Structure 1
């Protein structure tokens, strides 16, 4: 299969996506279909969240994109070049952290990065010390640089793997579950680093099963389930596809449920002193009228408003399943 370069209406070539696949498929021996006909397009300069439960085909897709395993069918291009044919010219422009870093446990964090940098034929030995120090600083490991990698926690190992991916400037950064094992502070620091990289023009392709992570830092996202692409687009558009919830805070939830049901609110549920409902898509009641009806009925209203749909709501609506299910 051949992937053509997109053009504008005037016939001039457009900037090709950082990653693009058509019909990408991976079937393992025994018939297991891990990735099924994936059509993916990752805009340059985006922070792209690759979203799905554990087992949905995310890591298999990344391994194919990086030339680590061969696809069973389909085509793919990375940074405008066909993969895996152009791997030697493409991969030096890509930083990657896939399935956790492969570290030398008997070496210190500093010496691990020196070893990785030395393996790069394009790396200038004269500036190696500066590169390694800067990479460690960016991921918050300067104080642990002399510590043996085998003594690192899982989160520290993730940071060191990310530092290795950042030794050189990259056009594309591919991260597979980058916050795995990090505490909340570490997660915030990695999110800030991803935003910083994106602001500098790096395209970031970030695989995760954490919806909160994707919603906080990504501009675009794709949803995978059981090896298939469910949807892709901007994060705002994906979340906007889910209706907003009506939320009423009241110590009289049963009375609130009755009044709201009489006024056409759907899918009502009480959670303690919170009543949640769904406004109908056609001819929805006015929010001010709903609030007034509750007050007239003697319902004590402590809070009243709507909450926009989230990526979690979108995922459940699209797949019909909870997110913590291994597909």
Structure 2
């Protein structure tokens, strides 16, 4: 099956799968009929609990394992058949970097670069230095990799993926092991790469991470695709939470319940809940008519987590 073609001026998708399935020996179904479309130029979040099939999908996309059935196209070419043509244009960090512990971070990158037949050896050291600088490891480049923390190893793996310009960057849990400052820096780097025209495919189990950095997202659970689309559109699928600030929280909760607000929670002088499918001005009017002193009445913007719950009817178990 051919990948979807571009229409008009719309660019062809960077990744397109149809019915992609992986069943391991023993009958374990890791990925079940995945239809995925990653737009060119997007920062695409591949979201799901641990064990949902994300890494298995990535391994099939990169030609590391064969699918049981279905098709996958990356950069317009079938995988794994076109691995030699596709992979030079793809930078990847999957399941953590493979490093030589007895070599320095810089020497590890030199080894990676020398294994790339398309890399110019005359500019190898400059390219390595630039990659270390970009991920914040310039000062630690001479340090042995075995002495690196988990976060530093993640950074070094990302540096390896950035040794040359890539059309596609595939990152599997790139902020794993990083402290909050390191996470912010990596997210900033991802935004910079996208601004330069690189499509970034980012796998994560962190809802907050996807919401902060991604333009598009897909949600996986138990090997199946739940939904995909622009992050703003996914969030729009949930109405958010209604928050009422009042010195009369008990009365407010009673009236809100009568008005169809569900999932009510009272915290101090604030009552929150899921808004009903009606004009909220009527809900506010009912509070005032009942003598509730309303100090604040707001509809908080729906988060990606709200959308996930609305779409699946369940919470997001990051340890699943």
Match of 1:21 in 2: 17
Cα offset for 1:293?
4.4
In 1, the alpha carbon distance for the partners of 2:145 and 2:202 equals: 24
Cα offset for 1:244?
2.5
The answer to whether 1:6 aligns with 2:5 is: yes
SS of 2:280 mapped into structure 1:
coil
In 1, the alpha carbon distance for the partners of 2:30 and 2:209 equals: 24
Aligned residues: 320
Contact 1:264 1:285 in 2 (8 A): no
Match of 1:265 in 2: 261
| 1:215-226 matched pairs, under 5 angstroms | 215-226=211-222
Match of 1:42 in 2: 38
SS of 1:238 mapped into structure 2:
helix
Match of 1:285 in 2: 280
Match of 2:126 in 1: 130
In 1, the alpha carbon distance for the partners of 2:289 and 2:44 equals: 48
Aligned counterpart for 1:276 among listed residues 272, 277, 282: 272
In 2, the alpha carbon distance for the partners of 1:270 and 1:47 equals: 37
Q: Which segment is superposed worse, 291-300 or 16-25?
A: 291-300
In 2, the alpha carbon distance for the partners of 1:99 and 1:29 equals: 21
Task: Give a deviation string over 1:209-246, Cα, whole Å, max 9, x none.
Answer: 00000000100000000000000000000000001311
Contact 1:3 1:76 in 2 (8 A): no
Task: Give a deviation string over 1:156-207, Cα, whole Å, max 9, x none.
Answer: 0000000000000000000000000001100000000000000000000000
Cα offset for 1:256?
1.0
In 2, the alpha carbon distance for the partners of 1:189 and 1:7 equals: 34
Contact 1:225 1:319 in 2 (8 A): no
Pairwise CA RMSD of aligned residues?
1.7
Change (3 A) 1:156 1:251: farther
What are the ranges of 5 or more consecutive residues in structure 2 without an aligned counterpart?
A: none
| 1:93-108 matched pairs, under 5 angstroms | 93-108=89-104
Match of 1:195 in 2: 191
Task: Give a deviation string over 1:260-318, Cα, whole Å, max 9, x none.
Answer: 2233433322234321122222x3231xx544543554434443211111111111222
What are the ranges of 5 or more consecutive residues in structure 1 without an aligned counterpart?
A: none
What TM-score do you get using the length of structure 2 for normalisation? 0.95
The answer to whether 1:140 aligns with 2:139 is: no
Match of 2:309 in 1: 316
Aligned counterpart for 1:150 among listed residues 125, 146, 158: 146
In 2, the alpha carbon distance for the partners of 1:320 and 1:266 equals: 14
Change (3 A) 1:245 1:119: same
Aligned counterpart for 1:169 among listed residues 165, 169, 175: 165
